Structure 1
Amino acid sequence: MDSSSGRRLQTTETSLAIIDAVNELGEARMSELADRLDLSTSTIHVHLKTLLDQEYLVKRGEQYRLGMKLFHLGEGARTRNEWYEVARRKTHELADSCGEEVTFAIEEYGRAITLFNVVANVPSKGFQVGRYYYLHNSAVGKAILAALPETRVNEILDRWGLPAETEYTVTDRETLLEDIARTEERGYSVNDQEAVEGLRSVGVPVTAPHGGVLGALDISGPLYRLPPNDELASMLQDVVDELESELGVQ
């Protein structure tokens, strides 16, 4: 999914840039936002006042933070998909059966976003929900890339590049494309310490009800504990088959 070309409103872009900046900083003063976005404090002030009035930001002293209205909107976006409940249930079932961390993510604007994240036997679940990350060095991401048309893959790589997050991250496009081809051939992706050192994960794509790729499921865990990749892929594929069957995928 990509933004369409055409006329855009600079005022809207500025307000959204302020929300992004506050999110990245955690909290920020007006002067910090002005410096970060290279705008006058008077311009920032007008936008902040509007965002406060509309409840997208909250103010504590001189610091601005994201408002919970954004959580409400995000949860609405997540739950209004027809596949939401099936994907949620299957993610939890897989985590319970395999005893490891399981993630379901989709692609949006060239990055993966976590919709469900369940860690087996951990009371606090879903700590990565809503997290964006790159496709080229994650198991769910590479599984999604392998299910996308080549033109779309190249668009994504052109936009986001291949930044290194560990010494194991693939940063050469041809090498990545070879990895994607292997993923497509065997039906599952492998992330071997490419995003987090010491962590391995295996992913399988999920087909959407009307064709194309819906997202992907992966199982992650420490290198010393996870079973072989083909065993993880088999567990994933069984659950993906059940998920797609319930969604009516032909």
Structure 2
Amino acid sequence: MSDSSSGTVGKAFRVLTAVGEHPDGATAADVARDVGYPFSTAYRLLSTLVRENFLAYDPRDKRYRLGLRIFQLGQRASSSHGFDGMAAPVLRGLTAGTEESSLLCVLDGDRFLTVNKVDGPQFRTTTDPGERGLLHTSAMGKALLAFAPDDTREHLLATLALEARTERSITDRAALRREIDAVREQGWAGQDEEHDVGMVALAVPVRTAAGDLVAAVALAAPVFRHSMTTLLTLLPQLRDAAEELGARLPMHR
């Protein structure tokens, strides 16, 4: 494959990813701005991706959205990693036993990626499968960060952009390191309106018998249902679910 062809493929992937970051769809101008390409280049790549069904284009609002081909591949990836058939029953059992929303996430570069969730009977979480979120503001992200391989953890602690999502978000690097050290010691991570105002969450790592990190599983609840203190009473159920998931799920690569 020539350098030119390889470069074109890389640009197409960046355009595809940029569209995926816009849940309500993106215009060609949005994409060109996000990826830093000339409008003509972005438009040409978008047209190719539409033609191959990786994107869909709605002429009414002139927005591009992820296409059915992406859904098909995503379903296959979810199945091959066990996120659907193997993990879903465990999450359903966790939600049934706690009456709160349960989520399964994996480490994806410098973000967490939600791969499965089950909404609680009385409240729907705002995170859906396929969405990526900040590590330092979320319970899932902190758990993944704390129990990642040493070199990965140290790299992320040194390089994460510590942007604030709420006024309670950690934005100081030394404070984040102290928080992650505490998570490693206690075995669980929490967030108290650090990621979303009005929400608390509790997460633990999902690990193999050898101790390798596979994912993080979390419970999330609105503050009118739980405080961080009362959510911690559900920690035993959460740890049981993590142990079962660790036995069921293959390593995520």
CA distance in 2 between counterparts of 1:206 and 1:150 reads 16
For 2:147 and 2:6, the matched residues in 1 are separated by 34
- The alpha-carbon deviation at position 15 of structure 1 amounts to 1.3
2:244 counterpart residue number: 242
Counterpart code for 1:136: H
Number of aligned positions between the proteins: 244
Q: Which amino acid aligns with 1:236?
A: L
Per-residue deviation, 1:44: 3.1
1:49 is aligned to 2:51: no
Match of 1:10 among 7, 22, 37: 7
1:20, distance to aligned residue in structure 2 (A) = 2.8
Specify the SS of the correspondent of 2:143: helix
Match of 2:58 among 57, 60, 67: 60
Question: Structure 1 stretches of 5 or more lacking a match?
Answer: 1-6
Question: Residue 148 of structure 1 corresponds to which residue in structure 2?
Answer: 148
Alpha-carbon shift at residue 144 of structure 1 (Å): 1.4
Q: Is the 8 A contact 2:84 2:116 kept in 1?
A: no
| Residue 19 (str. 1) matches residue 21 (str. 2) | no
* Separation of aligned partners in 1, 2:29 and 2:145: 40
| Structure 2: gaps spanning 5 or more residues | none
Q: Which residue of 2 aligns with 1:198?
A: 198
Q: Offset at 1:224? A: 3.5
Residue aligned with 2:86, SS: helix
SS at match of 1:85: coil
Cα 1:153–1:73 shift into 2, 3 Å: same
Identity %: 27
Q: Structure 2 length normalisation: TM-score?
A: 0.83
* Matching residue of 1:118: 118
**RMSD (Å), alpha carbons:** 2.9
- The structure-2 alpha-carbon separation of the partners of 1:160 and 1:48, relative to structure 1 and needing over 3 Å to count, comes to same
Q: Deviations over 1:180-211 (max 9, x none)?
A: 11111111111111101121111110103664
Match of residue 233 from structure 1: 235
Report the more deviating stretch, 134-143 or 122-131: 122-131
Would the alpha carbon gap of residues 178 and 8 (structure 1) be closer, same or farther in structure 2, given more than 3 Å must change?
Answer: farther
For the residues of structure 1 that align with 2:13 and 2:137, how far apart are their CA atoms? Answer: 27
Q: Distance in 1 between matches of 2:30 and 2:138?
A: 33
- In the aligned structure 2, how far is the partner of 1:42 from the partner of 1:247? 44
Name the CA shift for 1:159/1:229 in 2 (closer, same or farther; >3 Å): same
TM-superposed CA distance for 1:110, in Å, is 2.3
